[in-house]
Structure 1
């Protein structure tokens, strides 16, 4: 016979039941003004930093997610409430993400965390895109364009990304991302489509990789230069 949800919750989280909520159980690890809206989850912010903690359903586990300026910086799950509270308290104070994950090994740093932290995330974003496994039609052609774009200094200076079927570029590595720079999709047979302009409504096609790269460079506006990304420490 399946346990009733309330009984199951009480068995996994007697400390939360005693405290009345996860917010109350975390106590002084959170800023005093942190709202207590939900019994099994909480979200708090301090300056540019934020954290969320969720009590996992059906088992004991506190899922912790840390971010800064909308960027995922670290996350993980522990069954130890004191460890979750310690990680939360440390993250909401200024300090490197590596110090956080060294002290609380249940947390894993985001793949781009240290790049954003030092104010130079673009190389890390390129490395991530080049190493990614693209599960789309014409993936080989998309990878070929990514490598060609990375070899071109004007494009390598911009922040790259994937949006649905398209390779994109942005002056900024954080939201709001640019929407006026060229984006490239693969059509198969070595052909590519380039969309550009405000809203990217204008379309060009190119029959070769070299022609595609040339078109993208031709369509880049004069102000397509990287915007500063302030360090996070």
Structure 2
């Protein structure tokens, strides 16, 4: 973690692959050097924003989430992340996950702004579940990621819509 932000993330089934990465981190290696030392897929690129510009941090997080979803072997989760990213009103917000549920904040800084939506993806069969916050009561169940995203957009508070409209850099 750096500035309360996750810098690297990866998965391995062989714990013997970790010491090289941990040693590099402890000795101050760059993220590129740590990535090269890892013998497993290590995601970096998150928050490698030199000036910590919030719009660039948000764009960086979206890129990381898209890659993470692509690697997750979970088609419904991938569809959710891709559908959310395709929506300009959501793409301007900072996306974050907790327990694989997708939520949004108007700032990339922790603590995040109050939740207005949290979307759970089904595994295999089932529905997307929309809640106000991660473990809150279910508000809606829908069958597609597109439906879930439409509900999420409808739940964006007016003050977040105004804030995000002032930040057109995220429209790309």
After the TM superposition, which residues 1-233 of structure 1 pair with which residues of structure 2 at under 5 Å, given as runs? Answer: 67=2, 69-72=3-6, 77=23, 84=27, 101=30, 110-115=44-49, 117-119=51-53, 120-132=56-68, 133-134=71-72, 139-187=74-122, 188-189=124-125, 191-196=127-132, 200-201=136-137, 203-224=139-160, 225=163
Give the direction of change, closer, same or farther, for the CA distance of 1:198–1:150 in structure 2 (3 Å limit).
closer
Q: Which has the higher strand share?
A: 1
Q: Which residues of structure 1 form unaligned runs of 5+?
A: 1-65, 79-83, 88-99, 229-233
CA contact (8 A) 1:122 1:157 kept: yes
Query: Does the residue aligned with 1:194 lie in a helix, a strand or coil?
Result: strand
Structure 1 window deviating more from structure 2 (148-157 vs 196-205): it is 196-205
Closer/same/farther in 2, CA of residues 212 and 113 from structure 1, 3 Å limit: closer
Change (3 A) 1:117 1:222: same
Larger Rg: 1
Q: TM-score, normalised by structure 2?
A: 0.64
- 1:162-191: CA deviation from partner (whole Å, max 9, x where unpaired): 211311211111210133221111234362
TM-score (normalised: structure 1)? 0.49
Q: CA RMSD in A?
A: 3.5
Kindly indicate which of the two structures has a greater share of residues assigned to helix: 2
SS for the counterpart of 1:115 is coil
Unaligned runs of 5+ in 2: 9-20, 36-42, 168-172
Alignment partners' CA distance in 2, 1:206 and 1:72: 31
| CA distance, structure 1, for counterparts of residue 7 and residue 126 of structure 2 | 37
Work out which structure has the larger RCO, using CA pairs closer than 8 Å and 6 or more positions apart in sequence.
2
CA distance in 2, matches of 1:112, 1:165: 18
Number of residues of Structure 1 aligned to a counterpart in Structure 2: 139
